[in-house]
Amino acid sequence: MSNRKRLAAVSTVALGAVLLAASSPAGAAAPPQGIQNVIPITEILAYGQKVTAVAIEYGADVNPRTLDLASFTVSDSLYNFRFNPIADLTDPTKRADRTITAIYTNDTPSLEEDQQSDTGKYVIIELNPMDPGGSTVIAWNGGVKVNPDLQTRVIQNEAIHAQPGNGQGLGATIAEGSSTEYVPTQPAMNLLYDDFVYERYMTTSGTDVPYAYWLPADYDPSKKYPVVVILPGQGQGFLENATGNNEGVQVASDIPAVAWLQEEWTDTDEDVIVLAVQNRRVGTSATQANLMVELVNWFTTQYSVDTDRIYASTVSYGSTLAWAALATYPGLFDGVLLTGGFAASQTQANAIAASATPIWITHGTGDHLLNVATTGQTSFNRIWNAYITLGKTPAQASKLVKYTEYPLSAFYEPDQHLAAAPTYADSSILKWLLAQ
C-alpha cells in the first residue's frame, strides 16, 4: 500500500517570542509565546479543492471571549488553474483577503458544525467557500496537480489571551497583535480527500495504474455495495515520469469523487464505494480503457461489490474511456453519467444501444473546449437514433439515453466546460444513476 500523502504546506516562518502581559501563577511554567502553527483546512467543492478554514495553534488554551471576526486577516492567491496563468500563483498583486465567516476555539485543529467554542489552544477561522481565492490545484507538466506550497497567509491583528484561571478577565497575553504574515507550518487537513486510500494496480501488461478508493465508514463485507467508478479529465491523468507521482489530483480537482460520500449531494443515505482511476494519458483511449477495465474487474473482487450496480461517472476526456469500454465490454457498467465529454462514434453508439446500457449525457451550452453541437448533442443523437433503428419506441429510447444541456447561468464559475458542476448539484441525476 502506498503512503497516503496529505497536501503539504511546508513553508516556515520565524516566530518571535512575545512577553507575557500578565504574570503566570507562582511556580507555573509560562506557556510558549506567539503563534505555534498555522494549519490550512481544505474542502472539495464543485470546482475543486480550496482552503476553507485555517487552524491557528497557540501554546495555551485561548480565551474565546476576546475573539471576533476582526481578530485575524486571512489572504490567499486568486490563482485558479481553469482561468489564470501559473505566474499569477505567487504574484503579490493577484491576492485578496478572504471573508471570515466564523471564529472559535477548539481542542483539535478541526471544524465544529455548531461553530461554538470548546476549551482548547486552537483558534479555528472559517472562510467563505465562495471567495475567489484559495484554490489548491495548479497547472503542472501539461496537466494539473495538488499544490504542495499553499499561498494562504494569516495576520493576527489583535492580542490573543489565554483562558484566565478563574474564568474572569482577559487572561495572560500569549500573542501580541502585529502586521506579521504567517504562512502554513504544517500539512493541511484535507476534508474527505484524506479519507481516500491511494494505491497503484499493476496490470497484466506491466503498466501500473494509480487509483484512489473510498469505503463507507461502516463497511461490512457481508453486505453488497454499489460502486461508482470516476474517470477524470485529461489534466488529471498521470503525467509525470514512470517513477514519479501525481497522487490524488483526480479526487481534488472537482466534485465527482467526493460527492458520493455526502448525503447533501446525493440526497440518499445509501453507502457507495468510490473508485477514482488515474489513467496515464499514454496511448489511445481504447488502450487506456482496457487498463481501466482490468483494474475495475480486479477491484470488484477485492471488496463486497454488487456486480449488478457498477457505475461510471466521467469528466471531459474520461468520456473517451467510457465510450471505449461500453463498446468493448458490454455489461460492465450498469449505468453511466458523462459530463462535458467527447462524442461517441457511431460504432460505439450502436454497441451501446445493443447492450441497452442507460446513459445520461450532460454538457454546457457554451463549452469553450468541446463544442456542444459536435460532442454532447452528437453523442445523444447517435445513441437515440441507434435505439430507434433497433426498434425501440421514442419513449423507450428516451428512457435509456438522457441528455441535459446547461446555460451559463447554471455555472457559478465561468467555466462551462465543467458540466460536472451543475450536474452534481442536481441530486436527482445522482439518484438516477444509483437506481440503474
Walk along the chain (436 residues) and give the pLDDT tens digit of each residue. 333 333 333 333 333 333 333 334 444 567 788 999 999 999 999 999 999 999 999 999 999 999 999 999 999 999 999 999 999 999 999 999 999 999 999 999 999 999 999 999 999 999 999 999 999 999 988 889 999 899 999 999 999 999 987 767 889 999 999 999 999 999 999 999 999 999 999 999 998 899 999 999 999 999 999 999 999 999 888 666 555 678 899 999 999 999 999 999 999 999 999 999 998 888 899 999 999 999 999 999 999 999 999 999 999 999 999 999 999 999 999 999 999 999 999 999 999 999 999 999 999 999 999 999 999 999 999 999 999 999 999 999 999 999 999 999 999 999 999 999 999 999 999 999 999 9
Q: Does domain 196-435 have CATH number 3.40.50.720?
A: no
pLDDT of residue 235: 86
**Number of C-beta neighbours around residue 155 at 10 A:** 16
CATH topology identical between 37-190 and 196-435: no
pLDDT of residue 255: 97
pLDDT of residue 140: 85
Helix (H) or strand (E) holding 82: none
**pTM of the entire predicted model:** 0.90
pLDDT of residue 28: 54
Domain ranges of the chain: 37-190, 196-435
Residues 373 and 96: their CA atoms lie apart, in Å, by 38
CATH architecture of 37-190: Sandwich (2.60)
